[in-house]
Chains A and B, each alone.
Chain A
Amino acid sequence: MPNTLYDKIWNDHLVDQQADGTALLFVDRHLVHEVTSPQAFEGLRNSNRKVRHPKLTLAVADHNVPTTDRSKGISDKESKIQVDTLEANCKEFGIKLFGMGDKRQGIVHIIGPEQGFTQPGTVIVCGDSHTATHGAFGSLAFGIGTSEVEHVLATQTLVQKKAKNFRINVEGKLPLGVTSKDVILQIIGKIGTAGGTGCVIEYAGDLIRSLSVEQRMTICNMTIEGGARAGLIAPDEKIFKYLEGKPMSPKGKNWENALGYWRNLKSDDGAKFDKEVNLKAEEILPMITWGTSPQDVITIDGKIPNPQNEKNEDKKNSLERALNYMGLKPNMAAKDIKIDKVFIGSCTNGRIEDLREAAKILKDKKIASHVHAMVVPGSGLVKEQAEQEGLDKIFVNSGFEWREPGCSMCLAMNADKLKPEERCASTSNRNFEGRQGRGGRTHLVSPGMAAAAAISGSLDDVRKYQN
């Protein structure tokens, strides 16, 4: 019987299948960070359990770390306790940790691929919903809760039920100035934030295949915003080339054997998908979110929706609530939305290609005088690479702040946050109420669009700045 890529990875990791459909799945790679792990380690200690495979586990502090000068450590007491706790737990249980002073430190979903810890055909989990990012490598990667983190630490397995197969095909070529961020925003707008619930999404089609490894990560990363826990893309030569020689990638004979296995990782012809959606790349335009859910998308040429046009009472209420929170009027043009802040970074768009894309727009330009803008590279290695290419100078000369790596204002757990009613063009992944700070207003955009917004001082069309 023809199988999907998801079916194949699932079958390859089955430790036990119960009659009721519940399965025990082997976990090849476990990423750990400071926010969702302390209670899991405490649980292990209380039950006298050990970490079954410390070598299959990799830890980093990213959510709480300051992005300004780190020489004096973390000033926030609670954040410091959490980061120190992670360090102590990793030491006690023998887990490799990239500490705050390590240049390999960065956002957990950026360092996994960078180190070659992320590999095709594996099951990868982390106590973080954006674990879906790693699906770009053809792995089954998904976020889990803290109880499940403890379960994986103790058993290297996870209790799971098989999800449905959902394929999204994107064919054609993207217009100039349109990026993979716009593609995923468009997809979420189309399927809705619960559209993928209970499914694993495979992204396919010639547009997806034409994307770089990093662009694919942006798409898989936001799969969770469409309700699916995991999104994946069949691995190809681009992926193998990216992984070759990475510190934790297989070496020598292992590399040859791994390649042989990886090259077979794709959905068979005739494999059955429970759901399928098709998009034409040519029709995708630069997108923004206007509301408080990632499905609230319009094109940069678009207008804010009018609740009066909505017949469904629940939808109307929810539109009104979002407009009220966002401080926007119905029918207003997207380009008339004035912004106060710009944030470039996060596991969605904090990689080197994202920074290059923004820098290309900002070169020899100044940001609007009322805008406060910052770049937070996704990892120490991204930062180093960007500095070697002189991108930091382009950002700083244009008026951006150049920061240390971490999650930063994507979720505003550290000091980087919006004040009430401040409006931000952000390359992150969630525009929920309060996400970037209480009362803060977030518009999700691509890195190029964030750069364009910084220059114009309002949401703007990146195509205006393309040469």
Chain B
Amino acid sequence: MQKFSTLKSIPAYLPIVNIDTDMIIPKQFLKTIKRTGLGKNLFFEMRYDDKGKEINEFILNKTPFNKSKILIAGKNFGCGSSREHAPWALLDFGITCVISSSFADIFHNNCFKNGILPIILNDDKIKELSEYANRKEEIFVDLNEEKVIYGNNEVIFKVDPFKKKCLLEGLDDIALSLNKSKKIENFEKDLKSQKPWIFND
């Protein structure tokens, strides 16, 4: 997994609440058997018209936001379907940080598996940061310090320590869990004796 430490970018602001994963990447693009190549279809229905032409007014079609690495959006971002194609599409587009006042659980988890940092800030801070998007000014995200720095201001955010470590070091959490093989084996041994029906033995 790609590491995440710091990030500087003009943020793109999408002031819509409850952006669901169907909106982030519609179903017709879930037929892929790969993780890559989804960036061009990110926010497909808002981004292209019926003929497949870019809709100029849509924020990610405008310069400089078509190069934004940070997306600021309304609350409950990523609700709905569990599709990991949503963070894959963001990543492939170049967005590696999403800022919102809340995230849906599964999407939030999926971000951390893909080197994307979801940041939760209160609505007032979101409004302040969105001004930087409106003025096309850069903001700076520092994961190690758990800070967003904008102009002469900064705001602290919180991130789960284990997830932070995985993101900073780009760790493969399957390998980490397999390091606990002995514990898994012991658990399985107990399970076999206490609840043998689980294994249908």
Interfacial residues, chain A to chain B (CB-CB below 8 A): 15-16, 18, 20-22, 24, 26, 28, 35-36, 38-39, 42, 47, 49, 55-56, 63-64, 76, 78-79, 81-82, 85, 119, 122, 127-129, 143-148, 150-151, 154-157, 159, 161, 193-194, 197-198, 224, 227, 229, 248, 250, 254-255, 257-258, 261, 293, 314, 317-318, 321, 411-413, 420, 430, 432-435, 438
* Residues in A whose Cβ lies below 8 Å from that of B51: none
Shortest distance from the beta carbon of B126 to any chain A beta carbon, whole Å: 11
Interface centre among A85, A145, A420 (most CB of B within 10 A): A145
Shortest distance from the beta carbon of A345 to any chain B beta carbon, whole Å: 16
* Residues in A whose Cβ lies below 8 Å from that of B17: 314, 318
Given contacts A129-B80, A227-B105, contact A22 B114 (CB under 8 A): no
Can you report 6 residue pairs joining A to B where beta carbons are below 8 Å apart? A15-B187, A24-B177, A26-B191, A151-B174, A154-B177, A434-B22
13 further A-B contacts with Cβ under 8 Å, apart from A128-B82, A143-B106, are A35-B31, A35-B83, A39-B84, A42-B33, A146-B84, A193-B76, A227-B76, A257-B195, A258-B195, A293-B18, A413-B31, A432-B22, A434-B26
Which chain A residue shows the least CB distance to B45?
A434
* Residues in A whose Cβ lies below 8 Å from that of B26: 434, 438
Cα(A88)–Cα(B152), bound, Å: 56
Contact of B23 with A by CB under 8 A = yes
Given contacts A254-B197, A434-B22, contact A15 B180 (CB under 8 A): yes
* Residues in B whose Cβ lies below 8 Å from that of A412: 27
Q: Is the CB of A122 within 8 A of B198?
A: yes
Contact of B102 with A by CB under 8 A = yes
Shortest distance from the beta carbon of A71 to any chain B beta carbon, whole Å: 22
Cα(A28)–Cα(B180), bound, Å: 18
Contact of B79 with A by CB under 8 A = yes
* Residues in A whose Cβ lies below 8 Å from that of B22: 411, 430, 432-435
Shortest distance from the beta carbon of B19 to any chain A beta carbon, whole Å: 10
Which chain B residue shows the least CB distance to A256?
B197
Contact of B161 with A by CB under 8 A = yes
Contact of B183 with A by CB under 8 A = yes
Cα(A257)–Cα(B50), bound, Å: 59
* Residues in A whose Cβ lies below 8 Å from that of B23: 432-434
Which residues B110-158 have CB closer than 8 A to chain A?
110, 113-114
The 6 A-B residue pairs with the shortest CB-CB distance in the complex, in nearest-first order: A250-B197, A147-B113, A38-B33, A78-B31, A145-B84, A145-B110
Interface centre among B27, B50, B183, B195 (most CB of A within 10 A): B27
* Residues in B whose Cβ lies below 8 Å from that of A16: 180, 183
Cα(A145)–Cα(B82), bound, Å: 6
Shortest distance from the beta carbon of B112 to any chain A beta carbon, whole Å: 9
Q: Is the CB of A81 within 8 A of B174?
A: no
Q: Is the CB of A129 within 8 A of B102?
A: no
* Residues in B whose Cβ lies below 8 Å from that of A28: 198
Shortest distance from the beta carbon of B178 to any chain A beta carbon, whole Å: 6
Q: Is the CB of A229 within 8 A of B199?
A: no
* Residues in B whose Cβ lies below 8 Å from that of A122: 198
Q: Is the CB of B83 within 8 A of A36?
A: yes
Q: Is the CB of B27 within 8 A of A413?
A: yes
Contact of B62 with A by CB under 8 A = no
Given contacts A15-B184, A16-B180, contact A129 B74 (CB under 8 A): no
Interface centre among B15, B110, B200 (most CB of A within 10 A): B200
Binary per-residue interface labels of chain B (26-57) against chain A in the complex, 1 for a CB within 8 Å, 0 otherwise: 11101111110000000001000010000000
* Residues in A whose Cβ lies below 8 Å from that of B106: 129, 143-145, 229
Cα(A141)–Cα(B3), bound, Å: 31
Shortest distance from the beta carbon of A24 to any chain B beta carbon, whole Å: 6
Contact of B82 among A56, A127, A193 (CB under 8 A): A127
